Structure formats: C-alpha cells, structure tokens
Structure 1
C-alpha cells in the first residue's frame, strides 16, 4: 500500500533517527512510503494552547500534503490524536474527514492494520519499561488504562514481545503521567520536573535498562529528568527496536 509518512516537528528537529527507523520499518514490511517534502506542524501546539483558529493554515497544508495516500502514518501518538480528534479549524469536507480517518500512529497501524506477527530482523536483549503516553493510552487505545476493570491488552507490548531477547519490567505506577504534557511542561515547570523525576525513578526501581515509548516527546522529557537526577536509564522509541536497532 502507499503510505504518506508524517514526521512531527520535534522528531524532525531532535530525533531524526526515529523518523528514519519508521521509514525503514514500513518499507521492510512491503509498503511504498512517501515523505511529502513541504509538510510542517499539524497544529497541535497551537490547539493545545487555546489558539485553535490559528491552526487553519497548518491543517490546510496537511490536507494538501497527505490527501491521496492509502494511509498516513506517524511515529507520534499526540500528533495523530490531534489529527483524528481535534483537527477542526478548517471546513470538514468529505476529503478532510476521510483523511483524518485514515491517519494512524505507527503502533496501531502495525498492530491493527498490517497485523504484523513477526520482526525476524530485530533482537534487543535488554530489560525494558514500557511508557504509554496519556494520549496514546486513553485517546488512541494503545492499551488498557489501569483505572478500568476490563481485560488487559497492550498493543506496544504485543509488538515488542515478538522481538527476540526482550524482557519487560513493570513500574509500580505504570500509567502515571511523566509530566511532559506539551505546553504543561513549560507553564508548570516545577510540577512537570517532579513528575518526570518520579516516573524515571519508578522505572529504575523496577529494574529497567531502557524506557521505550511510541512518543519521543515523553522520552525527551524523561531523559532530561533522568540525567538531572543521575538515574542511569537509556531511552528508545519503539520504531527503533522493531526496526532492529543495535543493542
């Protein structure tokens, strides 16, 4: 199938290796992947800050860039959540509505659409703690939120369990927010930092060597917190592991 690859701003600027891993992984799985060169922000930061009308130009550009693909895939749950659920600064034509419906975050695309059963090229012999961001957990349905009394499921864990050598450890409070929260980490810096310190300490006590997530923004925040308080953890995006990142 023909996929439009959407790489969010902060991944493009700070974590290009995540975008490259996503591209390579999707191509390994037999897809034609196209990266529209003039793509920009989807508008999420403005919408989160209460300036929804100012998203109109970025949303219109997103539509121009990504209409016509079978699917749009991004390695970022928060950006996909914006497109699917909050992308309403422009007129909701049939074209816009259809595009929003076929925009997927990488994990859900691999798990729900492609239904990938194996990653024979991947080997990661490490203890990992899985971090589900608040948005991917509760808005995209990556896993069962711990506050719900429903059967357990975890799409990231399902995919990662197909990687040879990996071992999972579970922190005491697995669904607790890490404190990033986009602009929250700017306007509530002290609270955000304390939440991040608590999160990485919880993973370290559980015995994690790596924290893995589908959201680079949360990983960026947690890595900074770990470095500041001296917690010896490493951080990696799920796309890199599934693509066969070196251990």
Structure 2
C-alpha cells in the first residue's frame, strides 16, 4: 500500500482516547515526526473516540453516532493519521460498514477511510520519511499489535524507522506477532484468558534480553507494562513515536512513577 507524496500535505492528527488520557507525549511526538516529514499538522478539537469499543461490543447505535461526528470533523484534510493501528484500522476498515443503509454517508466514510493511516505506515509509505537524528543506546524489542499488523499491514515500517536510530539494537521476540492479551474489551470479558496471554507475551519479551519494549498501540503497551511491573522485570516500555521523535530523556517510560 503506497500513495503519492504531496507537497506539504495538511494532516489531521487523530490523537486517540488512550493517548489523550494516559500518554499525551505520544501525540506531541507524532506531531514532531509529521512536521519533520514535511506535513502541516492540525489536531481537530472536535474529534471523538473512533467508536471501536462500541463497535466491538455490538453497540452499533453509539458507534454510528461517533462515526457520523467524525465524518464532519475530519473532512477537508489531505490525510488523517493516528499513532495507533487499532484506531486507524477502525476508521479505515470498519467505518464505511456502519453506513450501509445510507449510500451518501457511506461514500463519505469510504473517502475518510481511504485517507486514514497509522503513523509509521504514513511516514514510510506515503511521505518516504527516513527518520530524525535521535540516537538512543538501548537493546529493544518490538511488539506487532494485532490491528496494525492484520488490518493495515504494519510490520516493516516501524522496523525501517528504528533501524535508522544510532545505538539502538533491535532484537526480535520469538513470536512478535502474537497478541499481548489486551484486545480492548476482550481483557474485560475474558480476564483469565487475557492474563495468560499477557504472561506468555511478557515471558517472550524477557527472553530477548531487551531493556526497552516498543509498540505502536498504547493499549498493548499499557497492558504489557503493567504485567512487566508486577513481575518485577526492569524493562522500560514506550510508544515507538517517543523513541523516533527523540523525547525519551524528557518523558519517563510508561508506568514509571519515579518522575
């Protein structure tokens, strides 16, 4: 999947609920990266949840209401970019289906879907961005989040960007594509299964010997960071945008309460 690189495209940053509420630094990092790639970035104030929790729970009415709001809020931009494969996947793959009874709105939703991208995929596939000069001496491993990988094909793009960071040694897990057990409402509906999956995942992470865990979805990162902390494993956890933007010295790892 690729697109033409326009001259200074106007990009709407879809911040996501979790970034807004738990990790605003990811949003600021995304802005820095997008601007460095040559984009004009705006953060639409009226943006809401992408509707995925309601959609996955069968609450079609709420999902439809949120989707309808987004059609207006995100109109007029060249691209919509989210630092989350999960939210980008919801808009790109599922939003049009909510309007199957209204052809006009479905066409608008399809147009929005076509211009919506996950952050690292947009930087690499659309903008041809090769990264900032942000050295980081660390041994890292990368988790492929389910939605980004399976719905949007995000796999090589984050690794291509991480490969440009001086001093960063990327070590792959045995099974980097296995779910971390979060799955949004899955971890609430099936806590025992989720906990077992998370334990298997963090064991795989620890086996790499990495001191830094990276991923592109904050839900996955919060889930894994909690388990690593409870197990006393000293592995820092960060969103990939923070590392790519070079802000790790100013922002503590996820779940680190020392600052």
Query: What's the TM-score, normalizing by structure 1?
Result: 0.92
**Aligned-residue offset at 1:195:** 1.3
Q: Which ranges in structure 1 are unaligned for 5 or more consecutive residues?
A: 144-153
Q: Which ranges in structure 2 are unaligned for 5 or more consecutive residues?
A: 1-8, 250-259
Checking the alignment, whether the CA contact within 8 Å between 2:131 and 2:244 is kept in structure 1 is: no
Checking the alignment, whether the CA contact within 8 Å between 2:144 and 2:178 is kept in structure 1 is: no
**Aligned-residue offset at 1:42:** 1.1
Alignment partner, residue 149 of structure 1: none
**Aligned-residue offset at 1:54:** 2.5
**Aligned-residue offset at 1:92:** 4.7
2:66 corresponds to 1:64:
no
Alignment partner, residue 254 of structure 2: none
Residue deviations 1:50-72 (CA, integer Å, cap 9, x gap): 12232111101111111100000
Alignment partner, residue 136 of structure 1: 148
DSSP 3-state at the match of 2:110: helix
Alignment partner, residue 41 of structure 1: 49
Structure 1 residue ranges, 4+ long, deviating more than 6 angstroms after superposition = none
* Cα distance in 1, alignment partners of residues 43 and 247 from structure 2: 22
Query: What's the TM-score, normalizing by structure 2?
Result: 0.88
Alignment partner, residue 186 of structure 2: 184
Alignment partner, residue 147 of structure 1: none
DSSP 3-state at the match of 2:81: strand
Residues 140-219 of structure 1 mapped to structure 2, 5 A cutoff: 140-143=152-155, 154-219=156-221
2:117 corresponds to 1:104:
yes
Alignment partner, residue 23 of structure 1: 31
Alignment partner, residue 77 of structure 1: 85
Alignment partner, residue 243 of structure 2: 241
* Cα distance in 2, alignment partners of residues 80 and 208 from structure 1: 28
Alignment partner, residue 139 of structure 2: 127
DSSP 3-state at the match of 2:152: coil
1:113 is aligned, of 126, 138, 141, to 126
Pairwise CA RMSD: 1.3
Checking the alignment, whether the CA contact within 8 Å between 1:53 and 1:89 is kept in structure 2 is: no
2:10 is aligned, of 2, 22, 40, to 2
